[in-house]
Chain A
């Protein structure tokens, strides 16, 4: 006895004039219940409001639950009726954009602020919020749970697809699209819904996880077709993972080959070869070459290098050296950054220097140089600024795909008549008895079911999922062609753009400044630049007496006028 529960009331079909009831189920698509309400004028109000919930009970067990999605009316000279289409709970998945949580700075103006989670339509399938790879099953569970948390009237039943996939980054997919995108990797998966629970449960089962049932071909059958799909049978699955790595902008690729069965040839007719791009390791290093030399204040050569004009002199003597730093090296080239863990100090080195050449002789001239002292030795220092580990190659993905496409599948359909409608054949693998012997173990996956409750007919379409685009080799390769490496899988958990990092520039670079102070000249020679033979030479060593030669005022007569002038003259002394 079929009953319908609507508007908190339960009715028999007859009570509401419901007839021509059909349930349409397709794998990974909205299951629908279509029915007519007879005896209704096209001008009558609909019996079931659009958007309302109906529940169909078979005996005491809930058999279907859905939302009224279409309410077409039909009228002809002979007949008028209302038709209704109720969409099963997959409807929720089709009409909800799947969003994932991403880490972002809590303060949009401050990238270093604490991270908080926000939902984004930008999603990475195969990854959890911690950035870890998750299986298809875990990802589907997350999608279903997300939909449930958003108010979808369904919960997760069983999903046991323990297959990892490459990160699949995409935007603004519905939950259903996201699930279908995942299930491309396991095309032998059947999705069905158990409405018997208060909240419908959705199940995802691979072929190997389904139980089989047999249909006797000698029973009431209206039509039957069967085609072994040798054309879809592939001898091997070869996955070529191309990984794009880069370090400091230098990119290179590596290729990992995963194949199943092991030992299979990579090149061969009908071999399913999928090239999958994976984001490789990304790293950015900063390197800084530091050149430093020992500070040798007792070395005349060292002083000459810092006070170049000293090189003009011979007999250079350094005395009374003082320093403001005790670090051993002078920074010559490069900048010392904090990340090098090296010390840098300004070092003011003072000394008294005496020097002479044929033109000048100076004694005890104060001289000071300012340099950057450091304990950094000459070497190239490096620091990792940003690092993104490569996406790992999914284990056993080739085997998983092979399990879907490496066995002979049978494509066909069957219409059972005079059948008690109720059994949901999508939950089973089909075998056929009373036919050819091999049909008894084909374990065909059901892809489509149409239950006609009134007529007791069940139409079953089995085989590869044509409507999902996995019906031939070319379609199978689509799963790889449409997949690009995820470029943001690191960002989801860190809120930092991949490969980004703060480059800490060195702050201490070479400085050199020289100050010269008072000095005592022994000798000075002034030479006319245009006439080198004309010079003025003042040499203290010419003084035969210990006395001072100073500018002294004297009187002169200039053309009869008494004036004064200064003349360089010594103190008077007595001739010895």
Chain B
């Protein structure tokens, strides 16, 4: 049970101190309504990512969460960043999830967006599983629901790599405070 609070917010439902950027193209998750943006900012407790993919005959599965330890009513004054990272020594792969609320993006229709970072990279940087198609690389993609919005995840790979890369599944599970 969250402690009730009331605070003035911007049109995007986030504190006025949050940077508001009208360049929605920089957001990785778009088309979030202001009221959903408000809920997302103030009540989001954790982001759980579950996915698996296969590349070069190797199947990899991940399941981890990014959290922020800031009670909702304190998010007015504290930085809100959901962040989680780790390293898989067996595949020499590191992976990261980061949802940054320091900037919200909006378009001319006041539809909002945030920058959700996700990537997984091997030591060579040859494989990159993230939310952005990489230049010079081929990729497979999968649309993923994200809180009434949709985002696309990409598995980027070099052409020289055996072309057996594919995404088995990808889940973004959001948990909200009640």
Q: Which residues of A contact B (CB under 8 A)?
A: 554-562
Main secondary structure of the interface of A (DSSP, over half): strand
Interface pair B9/A560, CB less than 8 Å apart: no
A557-B13 contact in complex given A562-B34, A562-B38, C-beta closer than 8 Å: yes
Closest to B7 in A: A557
Distance in angstroms from A138 CB to nearest chain B CB is 111
Compute how far the CA of A289 lies from the CA of B2 in the bound complex, rounded to whole angstroms.
79
Tell me which residues across on chain B come within 8 A of A561, comparing CB atoms.
35, 38-39
Tell me which residues across on chain B come within 8 A of A555, comparing CB atoms.
8-11, 13, 34
Distance in angstroms from A572 CB to nearest chain B CB is 13
Distance in angstroms from A485 CB to nearest chain B CB is 97
Compute how far the CA of A55 lies from the CA of B61 in the bound complex, rounded to whole angstroms.
168
Tell me which residues across on chain A come within 8 A of B34, comparing CB atoms.
555, 562
Distance in angstroms from B6 CB to nearest chain A CB is 5
Closest to B9 in A: A557
Compute how far the CA of A561 lies from the CA of B34 in the bound complex, rounded to whole angstroms.
10
Tell me which residues across on chain A come within 8 A of B38, comparing CB atoms.
557, 560-562
Interface pair B10/A559, CB less than 8 Å apart: no
> Is B72 engaged at the interface, CB distance under 8 Å to the other chain?
yes
Interface pair B42/A557, CB less than 8 Å apart: yes
Interface pair A560/B39, CB less than 8 Å apart: yes
Main secondary structure of the interface of B (DSSP, over half): mixed
Between A555, A558, A561, A562, the greatest number of chain B beta carbons within 10 A of the residue's beta carbon is seen for A562
Segment 16-35 of B: residues with Cβ below 8 Å from A: 34-35
Tell me which residues across on chain A come within 8 A of B42, comparing CB atoms.
557, 559-560
- The 8 tightest CB contacts between A and B, nearest first, are A562-B38, A562-B13, A560-B42, A560-B43, A562-B35, A557-B9, A559-B4, A555-B9
Interface pair A559/B6, CB less than 8 Å apart: yes
With A556-B9, A557-B13, A561-B38 known, 12 other A-B pairs at CB within 8 A are: A554-B8, A556-B8, A557-B6, A557-B8, A558-B6, A559-B2, A559-B42, A560-B2, A560-B177, A561-B35, A562-B35, A562-B38
Show 18 residue pairs from A and B whose CB-CB distance is below 8 angstroms, ordered by the A residue.
A554-B8, A555-B9, A555-B10, A555-B11, A556-B8, A557-B7, A557-B9, A557-B13, A557-B42, A558-B6, A560-B38, A560-B39, A560-B43, A560-B177, A561-B35, A561-B38, A562-B9, A562-B35
Closest to B3 in A: A559
Distance in angstroms from A567 CB to nearest chain B CB is 8
Closest to A554 in B: B8
Closest to B34 in A: A562
Interface pair B5/A559, CB less than 8 Å apart: yes
Compute how far the CA of A561 lies from the CA of B35 in the bound complex, rounded to whole angstroms.
7
Interface pair B10/A556, CB less than 8 Å apart: no
Tell me which residues across on chain A come within 8 A of B7, comparing CB atoms.
556-557
Tell me which residues across on chain A come within 8 A of B10, comparing CB atoms.
555
Compute how far the CA of A559 lies from the CA of B71 in the bound complex, rounded to whole angstroms.
11
Distance in angstroms from A564 CB to nearest chain B CB is 10
Compute how far the CA of A554 lies from the CA of B10 in the bound complex, rounded to whole angstroms.
8
Compute how far the CA of A557 lies from the CA of B80 in the bound complex, rounded to whole angstroms.
16
Compute how far the CA of A558 lies from the CA of B6 in the bound complex, rounded to whole angstroms.
4
Distance in angstroms from B107 CB to nearest chain A CB is 17
Distance in angstroms from B88 CB to nearest chain A CB is 35
Between B6, B39, B72, the greatest number of chain A beta carbons within 10 A of the residue's beta carbon is seen for B6
Compute how far the CA of A318 lies from the CA of B10 in the bound complex, rounded to whole angstroms.
48
Compute how far the CA of A13 lies from the CA of B26 in the bound complex, rounded to whole angstroms.
165
Distance in angstroms from A558 CB to nearest chain B CB is 5
Compute how far the CA of A561 lies from the CA of B5 in the bound complex, rounded to whole angstroms.
10
Tell me which residues across on chain B come within 8 A of A558, comparing CB atoms.
4-6
Compute how far the CA of A561 lies from the CA of B177 in the bound complex, rounded to whole angstroms.
12
Tell me which residues across on chain A come within 8 A of B9, comparing CB atoms.
555-557, 562
Closest to B13 in A: A562
Distance in angstroms from A232 CB to nearest chain B CB is 124
Compute how far the CA of A568 lies from the CA of B146 in the bound complex, rounded to whole angstroms.
38
Segment 33-61 of B: residues with Cβ below 8 Å from A: 34-35, 37-39, 42-43
Interface pair A560/B72, CB less than 8 Å apart: yes
Compute how far the CA of A556 lies from the CA of B38 in the bound complex, rounded to whole angstroms.
9
Tell me which residues across on chain B come within 8 A of A560, comparing CB atoms.
2, 38-39, 42-43, 72, 177
Contact mask for chain B residues 66-105; partner A; CB cutoff 8 A; 1 contact, 0 none: 0000001000000000000000000000000000000000
Between B5, B13, B39, B72, the greatest number of chain A beta carbons within 10 A of the residue's beta carbon is seen for B13
A556-B6 contact in complex given A562-B34, A562-B35, C-beta closer than 8 Å: yes
Closest to B14 in A: A557
Distance in angstroms from B177 CB to nearest chain A CB is 7
Tell me which residues across on chain B come within 8 A of A557, comparing CB atoms.
5-9, 13, 38, 42
Compute how far the CA of A398 lies from the CA of B38 in the bound complex, rounded to whole angstroms.
122
Compute how far the CA of A557 lies from the CA of B11 in the bound complex, rounded to whole angstroms.
10
Distance in angstroms from B49 CB to nearest chain A CB is 23
Compute how far the CA of A562 lies from the CA of B5 in the bound complex, rounded to whole angstroms.
12
Tell me which residues across on chain A come within 8 A of B43, comparing CB atoms.
560
Compute how far the CA of A331 lies from the CA of B143 in the bound complex, rounded to whole angstroms.
89
Tell me which residues across on chain B come within 8 A of A556, comparing CB atoms.
6-9
Distance in angstroms from A80 CB to nearest chain B CB is 142
Tell me which residues across on chain B come within 8 A of A559, comparing CB atoms.
2, 4-6, 42, 72
Closest to B5 in A: A559
Between A555, A558, A560, A562, the greatest number of chain B beta carbons within 10 A of the residue's beta carbon is seen for A560
Closest to B15 in A: A557
Distance in angstroms from A31 CB to nearest chain B CB is 127
Distance in angstroms from A457 CB to nearest chain B CB is 142
Between A557, A558, A561, the greatest number of chain B beta carbons within 10 A of the residue's beta carbon is seen for A557
Segment 122-171 of B: residues with Cβ below 8 Å from A: none
Tell me which residues across on chain B come within 8 A of A554, comparing CB atoms.
8
Closest to B16 in A: A555
Tell me which residues across on chain A come within 8 A of B37, comparing CB atoms.
562
Compute how far the CA of A180 lies from the CA of B137 in the bound complex, rounded to whole angstroms.
156
Compute how far the CA of A560 lies from the CA of B6 in the bound complex, rounded to whole angstroms.
8
Compute how far the CA of A560 lies from the CA of B2 in the bound complex, rounded to whole angstroms.
9
Closest to A567 in B: B8
Compute how far the CA of A558 lies from the CA of B11 in the bound complex, rounded to whole angstroms.
14
Distance in angstroms from A152 CB to nearest chain B CB is 117
Tell me which residues across on chain B come within 8 A of A562, comparing CB atoms.
9, 13, 34-35, 37-39
Distance in angstroms from B97 CB to nearest chain A CB is 22
Compute how far the CA of A557 lies from the CA of B40 in the bound complex, rounded to whole angstroms.
12
Closest to B8 in A: A556
